[in-house]
Chains A and B, each alone.
Chain A
Amino acid sequence: MGPFVPELISDQLNLVVALVLGIAFGAVLEQAGFSSSRRLAGVFYGYDFTVLRVFFTATVTAMSGVLLLGYFGLLDTEAIFVNPTWLVPAIVGGIIMGIGFVLGGYCPGTSVCAAAIGKIDAMFFIGGGLLGVFAFGELFSLYGNFYDSTSLGSIKVFDSLGMSQGLFAFLLIAMAVGAFAVTTVIEKRVNRSSAPSLEFKSRSHFAAGAGILALGVLFIVLPDRKTHLINKVSDPKYATSHPVTVMDADELAFRIVDREPNIRIIDLRSVDTTMSRSLPGAENITVRDLFGKDWVPILSRRHVKKVLVGNDEAQERTAYLLLQELGYENLAVLQGGFQTFDKTILSPGSFIPTGSRWDADVKAFREKARENILKLIAENKSKGSKEPKKTKKVQGGC
């Protein structure tokens, strides 16, 4: 599952990867004609919409790829870098860059590409860029507070707009295809002699537009992978045809007291609930986090039994079936959920005689287990409250 940084690709190797990807990036930009400032500036005057075409096709392609890879579970979309939003600085920065674009005719990436093939104006652009950053750095104290203002974190645009991811993806694709059509008409009117669109083969372009729109419709219908899988395993029909391994409270208590190494408790409850009473050695993973690659090392140990502990058994069963669907083995659910464990083992004097001849033994065992486990819990607590593990995110951005 991607991304492969930092686990599979080290920081050093990542720099080589950066160089290779940069070469591809530069070559494509140059082939697209982004090494020409007149061509780039044309997007603002209607005589050449190459920038819009390349830019939006690339956006739609990459976005669709991310969504599809995420849907098929090939990319952990929680682990990738999502540019954080500083709302007002982003707008102000964009405005400054917009003026810079019209005056300079390049943006930083395209200027590097243009300078590589000898465009002198691009070299001046880069020089100006260096001076601009220098000026910004020297005068930073004047606007340092503004720079850090309106920080909203790594928010997603569909959440900001209050719609589903799929619907937003469709609307973006529809807007892009619409813009392609409209700008082609404009371009042919403004630039009758040399509009790049005069050379387009309309039939294949129509087909491509229709194809990408169909993909957009598919995005509306496709739920995201997590929701899809959780819904699938929550279906009662699915549950009846997929039996689960159940461990009762006594067995779990025995294994904890015995300090058995080949057992791992996965606590599905939310962090605030577990803070009050977390079982010894438990990992706190909520159901939606089970998808991420952070927990793969723990969950994929075959010889370790993963005991799922939740508020109730239904939650545990959902997680069990989900993990099974994700390819993990050697799982068990705790019978009756944490509540039952709490009642039978952790609360004193709750023993209800069953009339069995083993009653006395069971009672004695539970009392001993209670003492032991409460001690372990207290020890855990005194080690300092266990912080929920922070997802290791890839760093990015300019």
Chain B
Amino acid sequence: MNTKYMNPYLAGFLLGLVLLATIFITGRGLGASGAIKSIVVATVDGIASKHAEGSHFYGTYVGPGKDNPMKSWLVFEVFGVLIGGFVSGLASDRMKFVTEAGPRIRPKLRWLFAAIGGALFGIGAQFARGCTSGAALSGMAVLSTAGFITMIAIFGTGYAFAYFARKLWI
């Protein structure tokens, strides 16, 4: 079984082609955080639809005459990512329930920090109107100013902050 990863430049080239095909066919880019938002919006709407419709944030996506937030392009795309990742992991024999962490950190603490990191991404992606895929990568491909600003802010902060989080990884 081939468990080795692909050459990163080849993988990047293929990823670029997938993104290019997306732009060429649909006129929009790839994304990920939008699907997480759709799940939250649909859940809030399902539990408390009055609250959702009255909210300035959720109200943009739900209400009379609007499609179900789960019927969005990104929800289907991210569902595809799940399938694609699964098939690829299966093909390269990488399927395993495992927690990945640095050598100095226990799994439970890793879970906590993973959840905090996810929460920060969830919040940050709302302000930036997208995450690393939707704002940075897709934005940069169409030379959007926002794409470059978001990319620089994400990676710049990552490097500036990395020292304080070093115990998590090295």
A-side residues, CB < 8 A to B, are 2-5, 9, 14-33, 35-39, 41-45, 47, 49-50, 53-63, 65-66, 69, 74-75, 79-87, 89-122, 124-137, 140-141, 144, 147, 152, 154-160, 165, 168-169, 180, 196, 200, 205, 208, 393-398
Could you show 6 A-B contacts with beta carbons less than 8 Å apart? A5-B26, A98-B155, A108-B133, A117-B85, A130-B122, A157-B147
Q: In the complex, what residue of chain B is closest to A128 when comparing beta carbons?
A: B118
B120 A100 Cβ-Cβ under 8 A? yes
Per-position binary interface string of chain B over residues 148-160, scored 1 when its CB falls under 8 Å from any chain A CB and 0 otherwise: 1111111111111
Q: Looking at the complex, which one of A24, A65, A103, A165 makes contact with B165 (CB distance below 8 Å)?
A: A103
Please list the 9 inter-chain residue pairs (A to B) with the smallest Cβ-Cβ separation, ordered nearest first: A104-B117, A22-B80, A94-B153, A61-B16, A132-B122, A57-B12, A98-B157, A26-B84, A128-B118
Per-position binary interface string of chain B over residues 118-152, scored 1 when its CB falls under 8 Å from any chain A CB and 0 otherwise: 11111111111111111101111111111111111
Q: In the complex, what residue of chain B is closest to A42 when comparing beta carbons?
A: B169
A133 B168 Cβ-Cβ under 8 A? no
Q: Looking at the complex, which one of B13, B57, B73 makes contact with A15 (CB distance below 8 Å)?
A: B73
Q: Looking at the complex, which one of A45, A90, A127, A141 makes contact with B149 (CB distance below 8 Å)?
A: A90
B136, chain A: closest CB distance, angstroms: 8
B31 A398 Cβ-Cβ under 8 A? yes
* A129-B144 contact in complex given A94-B128, A114-B85, C-beta closer than 8 Å: no
Q: Which residues of A contact B153 (CB under 8 A)?
A: 90-95, 97-98
Q: Looking at the complex, which one of B71, B77, B129 makes contact with A83 (CB distance below 8 Å)?
A: B129
* A37-B114 contact in complex given A97-B131, A100-B120, A397-B129, C-beta closer than 8 Å: yes
Which chain B residues numbered 91 to 112 have a C-beta less than 8 Å away from chain A? 92, 94-102, 107, 110-112
A30 B26 Cβ-Cβ under 8 A? no
Q: Is B1 an interface residue (CB 8 A)?
A: no
Q: Looking at the complex, which one of B24, B76, B149 makes contact with A19 (CB distance below 8 Å)?
A: B76
A398 B33 Cβ-Cβ under 8 A? yes
Which of under 10, 10 to 19, 20 to 34, or 35 or more describes the interface residues of B? 35 or more
Q: Looking at the complex, which one of B6, B74, B95 makes contact with A31 (CB distance below 8 Å)?
A: B6
A117 B86 Cβ-Cβ under 8 A? yes
Q: In the complex, what residue of chain A is closest to B15 when comparing beta carbons?
A: A58
A53 B8 Cβ-Cβ under 8 A? yes
Q: Which residues of A contact B168 (CB under 8 A)?
A: 41, 102-103, 105
A392, chain B: closest CB distance, angstroms: 10
Docked complex Cα distance between A91 and B127 (Å): 9
Q: Which residues of B contact A55 (CB under 8 A)?
A: 12, 132, 137
Q: Which residues of B contact A96 (CB under 8 A)?
A: 120-121, 123-124, 127
* A59-B140 contact in complex given A93-B128, A94-B157, C-beta closer than 8 Å: yes
A109 B133 Cβ-Cβ under 8 A? yes
* A44-B159 contact in complex given A32-B12, A132-B119, A394-B27, C-beta closer than 8 Å: yes
Q: Which residues of A contact B129 (CB under 8 A)?
A: 83-84, 86, 89-90, 93, 397-398
Q: Looking at the complex, which one of A14, A18, A31, A132 makes contact with B123 (CB distance below 8 Å)?
A: A132
Q: In the complex, what residue of chain A is closest to B155 when comparing beta carbons?
A: A98
Q: Which residues of A contact B158 (CB under 8 A)?
A: 43-44, 98-99, 101-102
B122 A112 Cβ-Cβ under 8 A? no
B145 A156 Cβ-Cβ under 8 A? yes
Q: Which residues of B contact A154 (CB under 8 A)?
A: 144
B141, chain A: closest CB distance, angstroms: 4
Docked complex Cα distance between A116 and B142 (Å): 29
Docked complex Cα distance between A159 and B24 (Å): 23
B111 A92 Cβ-Cβ under 8 A? no
Q: Which residues of B contact A25 (CB under 8 A)?
A: 15, 18, 30, 77, 80-81, 84
Docked complex Cα distance between A115 and B114 (Å): 12
Q: Which residues of B contact A81 (CB under 8 A)?
A: 27-29, 142
A22 B76 Cβ-Cβ under 8 A? yes
B22, chain A: closest CB distance, angstroms: 5
Q: Looking at the complex, which one of A54, A80, A122, A156 makes contact with B27 (CB distance below 8 Å)?
A: A80
A65 B17 Cβ-Cβ under 8 A? yes
